[in-house]
Amino acid sequence: MTNITKIALGKNGPLVSKLGLGCMRMSPVWGGPTNDENESIATIQEALDNGINFLNTGDFYGAGHNELLVGKAIKGRRDDAFISVKFGAIFYGSQMLGLDLRPIAIKNFINYSLVRLGVDTIDLYQPCRLDNSVPMEDVIGTVADLIKEGKVRYLGVSEITADQLRKANSIHPVTALEIGYSLADRQIESDLLPVAKELGIGVVAFANTAEGLLTGEMKAPLPANDYHLHFSRFQGNNFVKNLEKVEVLKQIAKDKGCTPTQIAIAWVNTQGEHMMPLVSMSRRSRLPENIKAMDISFTREEMNALNTHFAPGAILGGTYLQR
């Protein structure tokens, strides 16, 4: 058993594991088969056994399937888990239709989430993103009301701009910002991350391997039915050039006796004590590698090499992180 370092999630926030477990891939969000449920539950429980208490889910992951799964995994050990739930996305089958951030909808969403999770309180509750369909005061204010009622402990936000973060925090203190961040996606370093640090907001960083690009396992050309082909990063010459960039990452990993995935996670981890890598896993076999990544440190030369080679904009094309 390994004990993961604990950090305060944001200024004066709750203690959580420095490594978070993303549960989304345990459910069929974008279509495709459902992973083995027993293995998924065992993965969550083994993560908890190793001190990973931050569990990230969404009420729209698999139409509630993911919350039901998390609920089964934490039954009888609620105090071991810190549950983060995203809401607001409306799916029909595997197609996202848009957002519903009306107060009446949020109050409906949370009741279903509490039942599926089998809990009385959700630790961190956050709109999956914000648009202009509903005034932010109404969205954030509704979550603030749920906090007063005891149904939610802390407010989170996800995939928003620096200006939106400031405004949300002025309405009610924001504990955590969930955002995509990796060596390949560094655009938030210029504005969003400095604001989060200034305001004392914790950063939950997902997509550390940039949709698999930084694992070092992808090869061109991709199969014609590969979902990556929807994104310009994995198309044509962009993909070829990006794979060339990844070769440097693979060499650094080889020199350090670890995997490119571990380097990618470790780089995010070393960006600050307020930064939590959120890593998606659906199999217990992935836990040891990802946990060991949290112990990797870099020399000044290694960090300079990574930051130079993967400077903002070095990876061509985008992914859903630019939605």
Provide the residue ranges of all domains of the chain, joining segments of one domain with +. 6-212+260-297
- Flag whether pLDDT at 322 surpasses 50: no
* 321 compared with 162, residue with greater pLDDT: 162
Please report which confidence band the pLDDT of residue 323 belongs to, taking 50, 70 and 90 as the band edges: very low
The pLDDT, as a whole number, for residue 96 is: 87
The pLDDT, as a whole number, for residue 123 is: 98
The pLDDT, as a whole number, for residue 121 is: 98
The pLDDT, as a whole number, for residue 320 is: 57
Percent of the chain with pLDDT over 70: 97
Angstrom distance (rounded) from CA 211 to CA 192: 21
Q: What is the pLDDT of residues 25-56, one digit of tens each?
A: 999 866 667 778 999 999 999 999 999 999 99
Q: Which amino acid is at 257?
A: G
* 43 compared with 93, residue with greater pLDDT: 43
- Flag whether pLDDT at 295 surpasses 60: yes
The pLDDT, as a whole number, for residue 226 is: 84
* 4 compared with 299, residue with greater pLDDT: 299
The pLDDT, as a whole number, for residue 239 is: 95
Q: What is the pLDDT of residues 164-198, one digit of tens each?
A: 999 999 999 999 999 999 999 999 999 999 999 99
Residue in 271, 227, 219 with CA at minimum distance from that of residue 250: 219
The token pair that represents 67 in the structure block = 């919350």
Percent of the chain with pLDDT over 90: 87
pTM, whole model, 2 decimals? 0.95
DSSP-assigned letters across all residues of 244-266: HHHHHHHHHHHHHTS-HHHHHHH
The token pair that represents 203 in the structure block = 């950063």
Catalytic site positions? 61
Angstrom distance (rounded) from CA 14 to CA 175: 9
- Flag whether pLDDT at 321 surpasses 60: no
Q: What average pLDDT does range 110-136 have in this prediction?
A: 97
DSSP three-state, residue 307: helix
- Flag whether pLDDT at 76 surpasses 80: yes
Angstrom distance (rounded) from CA 4 to CA 53: 9
Residue in 26, 24, 91 with CA at minimum distance from that of residue 283: 26
Backbone conformation region of residue 11, classed left if phi is above 0, alpha if psi is from -120 to 50, else beta: beta
Q: Which CATH architecture has domain 6-212+260-297?
A: Alpha-Beta Barrel (3.20)
Q: What average pLDDT does range 291-311 have in this prediction?
A: 96
Q: What is the pLDDT of residues 201-241, one digit of tens each?
A: 999 999 999 999 999 999 988 988 888 888 899 999 999 99
Q: What average pLDDT does range 12-21 have in this prediction?
A: 95
Summary mean pLDDT of the chain: 94
DSSP state of 1: -
The pLDDT, as a whole number, for residue 213 is: 95
